[in-house]
């Protein structure tokens, strides 16, 4: 054991781990400031794994600069070729731990995996951290939270005694004057929750609960939801989910539960892999818009949806089945490329599903197509 001297840092090599992965404290005369993000929820193993993989990316870049293009794709993106066994050796972890680490990085948007075909190792694309996820929290000298601000300077929380207790009125655009983005149905955000333990006939499933302005406590619930970890869901999708207040987490869970169910039902098609949720984010947002529209239409017609989580779950089952069908028919690389184009040009391609299937498939045809694909896999 030896102390670090001023001459030794240049002789040591280290893995680089982004500061945003950790909570940082800055003291001042009024108290202190805490810098945090959703990345702080990563396990220590996942943080170290990111540093190790980032180091390998740097080596690939160095190799590319010397003329070796083995680990750079046609778009100039650096990728890694690591089997599970390779990762076990690199990280000095068992198979289950390595699988968990990969999933954790993927859920935080830090790792993308691209399939390469039968008996070929997948490409791993390490992702850059998103500095926009950083949150600044201001505390008094007594440790009381005074204000919470996102990276764009938007106030996410302010001590109750310092802000108006009445809801802000709607502007001419129909959007609340608290900075929520417009989606055309801004009154769908009252946060009386859905209690899944109640009878379907109780007010728990009364869609009228979404009308009117959110109270301060309701906003706090919505903002708390947005501050959580949301896997591959986009910030835009999380924002829309947050409008459902206490129901937001329930609906988010339905997205993941339905995805896992479809993956389980069609495991033979996936060969123990997963549907890549990141590719379908734009269409997921459209599905949530459809749900909001159905809620409002049902209210207007006097036929409210009795069990919104169950209704949304059914929507999501069909959604993930369509995603799987298209991935298998078109190939992941084709769909991934079209998804990137749709992300950059949403006006020209607002929906991947509509792009490949402009005419809606009936449930019977959808199941039939998936069944045929499954038979093809079984006979190979």
CATH code for the domain of 69: 1.10.10
Predicted pLDDT at 146: 92
Alpha helix positions (H), 21-83: 44-65
Assigned domain for 84 exists:
yes
Does 239 or 163 have the greater pLDDT score? 239
Buried b (16+ CB within 10 A) or exposed e, 225-235: bbbeebbbbbe
User: 119 and 201 share a domain?
Assistant: no
Predicted pLDDT at 164: 45
Residue 92 has pLDDT above 80, yes or no: yes
Identify whether the C-beta of residue 189 lies closer than 8 Å to the C-beta of residue 296. no
The DSSP 8-state label assigned to residue 277 in this structure reads G
User: 242 and 351 share a domain?
Assistant: yes
Predicted pLDDT at 211: 43
Predicted pLDDT at 183: 39
Does 4 or 98 have the greater pLDDT score? 98
Predicted pLDDT at 190: 38
Predicted pLDDT at 125: 93
User: 204 and 319 share a domain?
Assistant: yes
Structural domain for 107, as ranges: 42-126
Name the average pLDDT for the chain.
Answer: 80
What is the spatial distance between Cα 251 and Cα 241, in angstroms, rounded to a whole number? 7
Express each pLDDT in 165-214 by its tens digit.
Answer: 444 444 444 444 443 334 334 344 333 433 434 333 333 334 444 444 44
Predicted pLDDT at 259: 93
Q: For residue 15, report the phi and psi dihedrals to the nearest 5 degrees.
A: -80, 140
Residue 155 has pLDDT above 70, yes or no: yes
Q: For residue 223, report the phi and psi dihedrals to the nearest 5 degrees.
A: -70, -35
Q: 62-66, 167-171, 268-272: which has the minimum mean pLDDT? A: 167-171
Assigned domain for 105 exists:
yes
Alpha helix positions (H), the chain: 44-65, 84-91, 95-107, 216-226, 235-242, 248-265, 267-270, 281-300, 308-330, 332-344, 352-356, 363-379
Assigned token pair, 261: 């169910």
User: 188 and 115 share a domain?
Assistant: no
Residue 49 has pLDDT above 90, yes or no: yes
- Residue 154's SS3 state is coil
What is the spatial distance between Cα 104 and Cα 109, in angstroms, rounded to a whole number? 9
Predicted pLDDT at 22: 94
Predicted pLDDT at 50: 95
Q: 108-112, 237-241, 345-349, 376-380: which has the minimum mean pLDDT? A: 376-380
Q: Which of 126, 158, 187 is the last residue of a domain?
A: 126
Mean pLDDT of 297-326: 92
User: 208 and 323 share a domain?
Assistant: yes
Q: Which of 93, 126, 159 is the last residue of a domain?
A: 126
Assigned domain for 25 exists:
no
User: 78 and 178 share a domain?
Assistant: no
Assigned token pair, 278: 């990141």
Would you place residue 377 in the very low, low, confident or very high pLDDT band (cuts 50, 70, 90)?
low
Assigned domain for 148 exists:
no
Predicted pLDDT at 172: 42
User: 249 and 353 share a domain?
Assistant: yes
**Straight-line distance from the first to the last Cα atom of the chain, in angstroms, rounded to the nearest whole number:** 59
Q: Which of 74, 99, 126 is the last residue of a domain?
A: 126
**Percentage of the chain lying above the pLDDT 90 cut:** 38
Express each pLDDT in 321-337 by its tens digit.
Answer: 999 999 888 887 888 88
User: 243 and 337 share a domain?
Assistant: yes
Assigned domain for 215 exists:
yes
Predicted pLDDT at 11: 64
User: 202 and 105 share a domain?
Assistant: no
Predicted pLDDT at 206: 42
Residue 101 has pLDDT above 90, yes or no: yes
Residue 14 has pLDDT above 70, yes or no: yes
Mean pLDDT of 316-322: 96
DSSP string, 181-212: PP-S-TTTT--PPP-TTS-TTSGGG-GGGG-S
User: 96 and 187 share a domain?
Assistant: no
Assigned domain for 144 exists:
no
Q: 5-19, 41-55, 136-150: which has the minimum mean pLDDT? A: 5-19
Assigned domain for 314 exists:
yes
Number of domains making up the chain: 2
Identify whether the C-beta of residue 304 lies closer than 8 Å to the C-beta of residue 207. yes
Assigned domain for 95 exists:
yes
Would you place residue 220 in the very low, low, confident or very high pLDDT band (cuts 50, 70, 90)?
low
Choose from 113-117, 150-154, 267-271, 284-288 the range with maximum mean pLDDT: 284-288
Residue 312 has pLDDT above 60, yes or no: yes
Q: 51-55, 192-196, 273-277, 341-345: which has the minimum mean pLDDT? A: 192-196
Model-level pTM greater than 0.95? no
């Amino acid at each position: 054991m030896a102390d670090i001297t001023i001459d030794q840092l240049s002789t040591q090599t280290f893995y680089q781990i982004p500061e945003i992965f950790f909570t940082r404290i800055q003291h001042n005369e009024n108290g202190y400031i805490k810098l945090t993000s959703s990345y702080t929820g990563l396990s220590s193993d996942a943080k170290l794994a990111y540093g190790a993989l980032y180091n390998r990316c740097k080596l690939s870049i160095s190799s590319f600069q010397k003329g070796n293009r083995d680990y750079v794709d046609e778009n100039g993106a650096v990728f890694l070729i690591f089997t599970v066994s390779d990762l076990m050796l690199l990280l000095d972890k068992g198979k289950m731990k390595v699988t968990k680490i990969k999933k954790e990085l993927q859920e935080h948007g830090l790792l993308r995996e691209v399939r390469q075909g039968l008996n070929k190792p997948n490409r791993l694309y390490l992702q850059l951290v998103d500095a926009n996820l950083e949150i600044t929290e201001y505390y008094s000298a007594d440790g009381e939270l005074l204000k919470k601000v996102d990276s764009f300077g938007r106030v996410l929380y302010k001590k109750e005694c310092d802000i108006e207790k009445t809801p802000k009125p709607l502007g001419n655009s129909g959007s609340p004057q608290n900075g929520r983005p417009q989606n055309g149905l801004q009154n769908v955000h009252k946060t009386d929750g859905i209690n899944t333990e109640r009878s379907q006939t109780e007010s728990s499933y009364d869609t009228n609960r979404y009308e009117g302005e959110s109270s301060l406590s309701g906003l706090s619930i919505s903002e708390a939801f947005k501050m959580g970890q949301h896997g591959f869901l986009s910030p835009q999708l999380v924002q829309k989910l947050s409008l459902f207040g206490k129901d937001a987490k329930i609906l988010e869970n339905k997205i993941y539960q339905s995805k896992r169910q479809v993956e389980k039902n069609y495991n033979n098609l996936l060969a123990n892999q997963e549907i890549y949720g990141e590719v379908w984010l734009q269409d997921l947002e459209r599905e949530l818009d459809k749900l909001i529209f159905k809620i409002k239409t049902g209210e207007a017609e006097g036929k409210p949806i009795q069990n919104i989580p169950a209704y949304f779950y059914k929507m999501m089952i069909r959604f993930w089945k369509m995603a799987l069908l298209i991935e298998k028919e078109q190939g992941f690389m084709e769909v991934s490329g079209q998804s990137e184009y749709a992300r950059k040009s949403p006006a020209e391609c607002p929906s991947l599903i509509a792009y490949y299937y402009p005419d809606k498939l009936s449930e019977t045809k959808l199941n039939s197509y998936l069944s045929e694909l499954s038979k093809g896999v079984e006979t190979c």
